[in-house]
Every structure is written in structure tokens, then in C-alpha cells.
Amino acid sequence: MTAIFIMSDWLAQISRVPSALAGLDMSMPGGGVVPLLGDSYWMYELSRAVLNVSVPVGRLNDIATRTLATRQDQCYPCPNFLIYTLDATGPLYLSALFSPSGVVNEFVDVQGKHAATCRDIARDAITMPKNTNGTLPLKTNLTLKIFRTGAQKNPGGINSYSD
């Protein structure tokens, strides 16, 4: 068993048994073939695959161990939004026949200063050529675009800014 945990993205998993054998540990929770039904692409198929020996029990144990070892239940914030609605309140369990209502979207602003940081990076990437003595063959009606390394300020690249 390795220490890596592999989870699919929303609706990115396109196989059942092959994905389990290739190392997928968790099918992205909450989104199945029909997202509003609340099922998973594996759902009962993984159980069937273990029972008919398409997926070895050892692989199932590996999946369970790595899934539980993520410890996402410790100091992990509760979800503060429901992807299926923009309403503040609604049913807490969409696929349940009878569901209590409650707050489903808290509208938490998670952007922080990201917009200002992106604008600073874009501003700093602007390159203004100095045309001393008319050396550059520029005309007033010409658009000049500079790409690649000349269009960046940080020599480490655009993704080198720390969070």
C-alpha cells in the first residue's frame, strides 16, 4: 500500500472495475451519472465487482484504508454551500423522500485578496519599451504585444507567487 490517496473529479470517472484496479480510491462523492440523484459512479458496482472477484478483496481493503487514513473528519470545516441551488435555505438531503429544511448556502466569500493579487501580477507583467531616439520601428497606429519571458516580472514565473 502506498501513502497516496486518489480521488476522481466530478463526473471524471468513466469506468468501474478498471478504475478500481488502476488505483482510484474514491469516486467523487455526491455526483453520479445523474448528479441530482446523489449516487456515485461506483455505488453498488464496486460491491458486485468484489463479490465476483473482478476486484480483489485486498484492493478493497487498500481503498478503505487509504480513504479512512485521510482524516478529513479532524478540524475540517463543514460544507457551507449546496451546489444544486443558489437559495439560502432548502432541503438538507436532496435525495431523501422527506428531508428537513435548513441553511444550505452561507454565501462565504472565499476570494480574500485574490482579485487584487491577480491585478498586481498582471500590472507587473506589463512591459513598456523605451523608444530612445526613435530606434524601434514603431508607429502611433501600431499595436505592440510582447509575449513569453519578456512579459513577466518574477523570474520564477507566474505561478511562483506564494499564497
| Catalytic entry in 9, 73, 109, 163 | 9
* 87 has catalytic annotation: no
24 CB contacts (<8 Å, ≥6 apart)? 6, 7, 8, 13
- Residue 163: Cβ-neighbour burial (10 angstroms; 0-12, 13-18, 19+): exposed
- Residue 20: Cβ-neighbour burial (10 angstroms; 0-12, 13-18, 19+): buried
Q: Could you give the residue numbers annotated as active site? A: 9
